[in-house]
Amino acid sequence: MSKASELLATEKAMTTGSAMGPFYSGVQSLPPRRIRLIGVPLDLGASRRGVDMGPSAVRVAGLEARLEALGHVVTDGGNISVAIAETKTVGEQNARYLKEITETCTKAAEMVVKTLEEGMTPVILGGDHSVAAGSVSGVAEFYRRQHQKIGLIWIDAHSDINTPASSPSGNVHGMPLAALLGLEPASLANIFGWSPKVAPENTVLVGVRDIDATEKENIKRAGVTEVYTMRDIDERGMRTVMEEALRAAGRGTAGYHVSLDMDWIDPEDAPGVGTPVRGGATYREAHLAMEIIADHGRMLSFEIVEVNPVIDEHNRTADLAVELISSAFGKKIL
């Protein structure tokens, strides 16, 4: 058992009271899961077009086969239907296409609930990051019915905590975290008729490096304190950051949803994203984060967003997405 795993397993045993628990067993891979892939080809939340082809690019990169090679049983649930920008009007300029985005997120949320009810782990393929307002709502709704809370690990260059009033762009993909924490947009915050979907103390931001001034206010207003910037990763290392992150998200919850925006990774390795920002996680840092998540064994659901094949180089960002999902689902080097 590696040092990191040992620590996390001990921590888990402490919080659940079970010795090591059924989730983690040394270097052996995790117990197989039944996984349903859910594509959400949404690009209405971003100003750059092309992330609607993300689900297809990730499928072409071989996601299903890679997860099955790890022993999981995978079903592809196809795509959630999404309006086409060309056939719709933008609506309010401060939250463009909010009506259509809410409709799609609601459908995605319902599919996530159904997937969990059937005992499967949802893996959501975006789509721009506004899909998270749907996927996280679905996971939160399912566990709420069992009187449990969920945590949220938000791995991203951005904090996506703008509201229509604070957004510099009017792009809804910069707002899902604000909605999930019970701020705005109201239509996204109130999917299933209740809000907030996650408590601030169980919400963790990892890898941020591009936060709008208005977003800093919103982070405070929402009460989120678990924010790990790229500087924290540089100075303290990925392992320490992930341990603290998983501990916070897991405290008093059924487990956590992992929302991975591919623009977290440095554009050198992930050029195919809508809003690239220099100074991102390296290839190995990204894998290590996923490997630690797998070892911890408390991930309830996973999503990958913002893969944009239109500006990618030979699908390498989608290839990396598939690799990272494999690591999060238990792929070991040895």
Which range of residues in 52-60, 62-70, 164-172, 182-190 is near ligand ARG by CB under 6 A? 164-172
Which range of residues in 85-93, 98-106, 139-147, 169-177 is near ligand ARG by CB under 6 A? 169-177
232 is catalytic: no
156 is in an annotated binding site: yes
Q: What is the DSSP string of 149-184?
A: --EEEEE-SB-----TTT-SS--GGG-HHHHHTT-S
Rounded to a whole number of angstroms, the minimum distance from the CB of residue 247 to ligand ARG is 25
Residues facing residue 36 across a β-bridge: 75, 122
Q: How far apart are the first and last CA of the chain?
A: 12
Q: With beta carbons less than 8 A apart as the criterion, state whether 289 and 32 touch.
A: no
Q: Which residue number, 164 or 330, has a Cβ lying nearer to Mn ion?
A: 164
DSSP state of 31: P
Question: Which residue has the CB atom at the shortest distance from ligand ARG?
Answer: 174
Q: How far apart are CA 148 and CA 116, in angstroms?
A: 14
Residue 217, C-beta contacts closer than 8 angstroms, at least 6 positions apart: 166
Pull the structure tokens for residue 82. 């999404």
DSSP state of 184: S
Interface with Mn ion, residue 156, by CB under 5 A: yes
What CA–CA distances, in Å, run from 258 to 55, 121, 155, 242, 310? 17, 12, 8, 12, 25
Q: With beta carbons less than 8 A apart as the criterion, state whether 255 and 150 touch.
A: yes
263 is in an annotated binding site: yes
Interface with Mn ion, residue 158, by CB under 5 A: yes
Q: Which residue number, 264 or 329, has a Cβ lying nearer to ligand ARG?
A: 264
Site string for ligand ARG, 79-108 (x = CB under 6 A): ------------------------------
Site string for Mn ion, 194-233 (x = CB under 5 A): ----------------------------------------
Helix axes 283-296, 238-250, angle to 10 degrees: 40
Interacting residues with ligand ARG (CB under 6 A): 129, 158, 160, 162, 167-169, 171, 173-174, 212, 261, 263, 274-275, 306
Which residues define the annotated binding site for Mn(2+)?
A: 129, 156, 158, 160, 261, 263
Interacting residues with Mn ion (CB under 5 A): 129, 156-158, 160, 261, 263
